[in-house]
Structure formats: structure tokens, C-alpha cells
Amino acid sequence: MTKSEIDEATVRRIAHLARVKVTAEEAKSLQRELNGILSWVEELNAIPTDGVEPLTSVGGAKLHMREDVVTDGNKPADVLKNAPKSEDGFFLVPKVIE
């Protein structure tokens, strides 16, 4: 096992911490996937980046800035048409806490 390989016990620990139920077959599959990702990251780390400036924007193009104004609002009746249930101008949602 190399320094960045993940074993099945680690996969199960991660699943436990995430509160995700993982079968033995899924754990083996996840182990392969995670080790593949780590292998790819190791390949990226091997690329020499000395002298490469950090990229702060794609293509160096300036984005056109517009004024931040509401352009499509004040239509509560139209918005409530999408609601399965509404009352007094509000969406009705099922109770989720007992």
C-alpha cells in the first residue's frame, strides 16, 4: 500500500462518520474509486508548476457589470400559481417537525 492508498477500514470509517450505510461490496467499490482519485491527484502533483502564475480569471476577459435592480418581480399571483397549496399569499408546506 502506498502512502496515499485508502484501505477498506478507512472507507468504512468515512462512511460511519458520514452516517452512510455501506455494504461490503460497496466498500470495495468505493475503495477502488477513492484510490483512483488519489492516484490522479498524485499525477497532478507531479506536474511542474514553477513559474506558472495563478489563474484569477478565465481568458482574461472583463465581465460586463450591470446595475443590480429587480427586473421581474412584484408578481405574487404568478409565483403562487406554481405552488401546490397556498394561503393568504404564501406557500403552504407540510409540517416537518413534530
Whole-prediction pTM: 0.50
Domains and CATH numbers, the chain: 8-45 (1.10.20)
- Residue 87 CB-density burial (10 A; 0-12 exposed, 13-18 middle, 19+ buried): exposed
CA 12, chain centre distance (Å): 21
pLDDT computed for residue 64 by the predictor = 82
7-64 confidence digits (pLDDT tens): 999 999 999 999 999 999 999 999 999 999 999 999 999 999 998 888 776 666 777 8
The C-alpha atoms of residue 27 and residue 14 are separated, in whole angstroms, by 10
Contacts of 38 (CB under 8 A, 6+ apart): 4, 5, 6
